[in-house]
Amino acid sequence: MRFRFCPECGNQLSSRVLGDEGEVPWCEKCNRPWFDMFSTCVICLVVSESGKICLLRQYNIDHHVFVAGYIKDGECAEKTAMREVAEETGLNVISARFLKSFFYEKRDQLMLGFLVRVKDGEFNISSEVDEAGWFDFDEAVMAVRGASICDKLLTEYKAGATK
């Protein structure tokens, strides 16, 4: 979100150089900057005890994706990752480990990538999910769109697994 008006007083913002930040939106009345905002979410590469990867289809989209969701006010990213996986898949979460962050420009989102380990089990999907399935690593690579954040997380996962 790019501010054009002050969220506190409603005045139109001007532009002011602020140290190393360069030009930023500035409220003359409140005497403060208003930096651009973006949503922060998690995106989770879900891996079962037996090494299978969970992929979802949602919102009638024709490709597979990972579990993802917005961080709630007062919630840490790790808790969000575990909550979203449990809510969307119905699986029992063992752990969540941060892998890498990605900025998703199309939606102005900072996506925090997690590896979430789950117990082997059957899916009990939420109403947000059209279908869920288990895939081998190579099948998962083929099922996600190339150059997507899912593809990048799979690359991070494979690089970490070989270290």
pLDDT for the residue numbered 25: 94
CB count, 10 Å around CB of 111?
21
Q: What percent of the chain has pLDDT over 90?
A: 78
The model's pLDDT over 21-43, given as tens digits with 9 standing for 90+, comes to 899 999 999 999 999 888 899 99
Pair 80, 72: CB distance under 8 Å: yes
- Residue 163 — pLDDT band, cuts 50, 70, 90? very low
| 1-37 and 39-161 agree in CATH topology | no
Q: Would you kindly state where each structural domain of the chain is located, as residue ranges?
A: 1-37, 39-161
Q: Work out the mean pLDDT of the chain and round it to a whole number.
A: 92
pLDDT of residue 51: 95
Confidence of residue 162 (pLDDT cuts 50, 70, 90): very low
Query: Looking at domain 39-161, what is its CATH homologous superfamily?
Result: Nucleoside Triphosphate Pyrophosphohydrolase (3.90.79.10)
Per-residue pLDDT tens over the stretch 40-78: 999 999 999 999 999 999 887 888 999 999 999 999 999
The total number of residues shown for the chain amounts to 163
Question: Which of these CATH numbers, 2.20.70, 3.40.50, 3.30.565, 2.120.10, describes 1-37?
Answer: 2.20.70
Are 84 and 42 in contact by the 8 Å Cβ rule? The answer is yes
Q: What is the pLDDT of residue 147?
A: 63
The better pLDDT of the pair 107, 94 is held by: 94
